[in-house]
Amino acid sequence: MKHTLTLGLSTPPLRVNWSAAAVLVLYTTCSTAAPLLECPASIPENSVKLIETPKGWTSFVGSPLYLHGAAPMNGPPEHLGELADYKETGKKPNLTYIYQLDGKFSEGKWLACTYGESDQITLAKRIADDVKVCTFKYKKGRHAGENEIGILCE
């Protein structure tokens, strides 16, 4: 059944898909989902600075570093608290990793996003202490070593 909503005398009729509208309203008003966590897709080349290079050498960074990996950590990244206990599902290039985050995290729970084909650079941020599980869905990106990663933490 089609319904028409008229928004004023000078406005042409607007057709509304009421099923889709109801789903959108329900989702936006009743959703109790955790805040969206998303790693930046890349680190711009002008953000990468090399200091203390060997005498006589000049540095140049010609392209951004693309997102390669993501995972929860126990504590800030400099403590290297990578979690080894996870469940892996799917097949390459579409893998899913599920981390149970029960237990004690004395320095907090952190999200680590790694860049470069060998995870040379890490960006990290602390996540809520009440997060119990994080799921990371990987999909091959367009650039060498790049992965698109969907993150859901609850």
pLDDT band at residue 92 under the 50/70/90 scheme:
confident
0.85 surpassed by pTM: no
At residue 35, the pLDDT reads 59
At residue 91, the pLDDT reads 92
* Burial letters 42-63, b for 16+ CB under 10 A, else e: bbeeeebeeeeeeeeeeeeeee
Question: Is the model's pLDDT at 27 over the cut of 80?
Answer: no
Mean per-residue pLDDT of the chain? 83
Mean pLDDT of all residues in 56-82: 95
| Largest distance between two CA atoms of the chain | 75
Q: Which residue has the higher pLDDT, 10 or 141?
A: 141
**pLDDT tens track for 105-151:** 999 999 999 999 999 999 999 999 999 999 999 999 999 999 999 99
**pLDDT tens track for 37-49:** 999 999 999 999 9
Cα–Cα distance measured from residue 38 to residue 55, given in angstroms and rounded to the nearest whole number: 39
